[in-house]
Amino acid sequence: MNNLRSYTLPELETILVKLGEPKFRAKQVYEWIWKKYAGDINDMTNLSKDLRTKLSVQYFIPKVKIHHTQHSNDGTIKNRLQLHDSHFMESVLIPTENRMTVCVSSQVGCSLSCKFCATGYIERKRNLDYDEIYDQVVLTGQQAQAKYGKNLSNIVFMGMGEPLLNYKNVLKAIEMITSPDGLGMSPKRITVSTAGVAKMIRQLGDDKVKFKLAVSLHAPTDAKRNQIMPINESNNLKTLIEALNYFYKCTGNEITFEYILFKGVNDSIQDADDLVKIYRQVPADLINIIEYNPIDAAQFEKPDEEDVDAFMEYLESKKVNARLRRSRGKDIDAACGQLANVDHEAEA
């Protein structure tokens, strides 16, 4: 059986013509797949029963299903999603007064092993296909409408996995999310986050992508970054900075640094000064300073509030555009770095 959503419109036209159907039937199938979000070929009611039967012999639609949902006290919703091959991954709906954001995953597990991230302790099982990424957005958008009466406003690829190590599927998913034949969202409302795969950041520049880029920095020197993010050993800060400048030269797109504060690791004034030096070398719009969300597998701690304040004040004194970002969904392990695909009892 073949995934019906894996074909382009011209490829569907070829398939339908071979089945003895007029070419325009392909457009109807394509709309059912992407705009009407059909869960089954038999849902395509403007196709004849005979055609639906013929399609069902060779093709299927491997829809992602919500396995269970958790609701945070702050309104955040975390979904454990089941794939057609029984693997699981997670996505998060983050509602605020002005935004309705979905945090999507790009892989089942992760291969990068960042020491502070729960997903980094899970073996990477496989990449998500582009239609599975698309499903996360659709399902969460349906939740946003049902719970809050609002459409999704933003998409962030900050869930499980490293998006740039699933490059082809992530870009194809974004193509469909932004296409008039899909969800029609603006690429300027999409942010892809990377731990710093320099080669693929350059590829984003070559491909002239239109979405925003966020970089999980988390340490301002190679020595410290090597300790908490093994990817830095093969993608050091000099290489990363060069790649980011190339990306900006090619696209002019917004770049944001993400920086989690760990007590006694990267929260000193010297660390802040080193961070300023990196910021000065990249046309970054913003540094998001993030509070650490503890996980069982790691021994890191949150800094004291006075140290956080001092860190922020130093950045401000150096005219750095920095924002302290408070985490959402901590009580259901839905905050930054906490997605671990752990089974829980479902909540209504």
Helix (H, G, I), strand (E, B) or coil at 81: strand
Q: Measuring CA to CA, how many Å separate 105 from each of 24, 74, 165, 321?
A: 34, 21, 12, 28
What's 46's DSSP letter? T
Structure tokens at 332: 């259901």
Alpha carbons 301 and 132: distance in angstroms, whole number: 35
Q: For residue 87, with 0-12 CB atoms within 10 Å meaning exposed, 13-18 middle and 19 or more buried, which class applies? A: middle
Geometric angle at alpha carbon 200, from 195 and 201, rounded to 5°: 70
Tell which residue, 288, 290, 289, has the closest CA to residue 328: 290
User: Residue 193 pairs with which residues in a beta bridge?
Assistant: 214
Asked if 174 contacts 196 with a C-beta cutoff of 8 angstroms, the reply is no
Contacts of 268 (CB under 8 A, 6+ apart): 307, 311
Buried/exposed 37-61: b ≥16 CB within 10 Å, e otherwise: bbeebeebeebeeebbebbeeebbb
Asked if 229 contacts 114 with a C-beta cutoff of 8 angstroms, the reply is yes
Residues annotated catalytic, as ranges: 90, 336
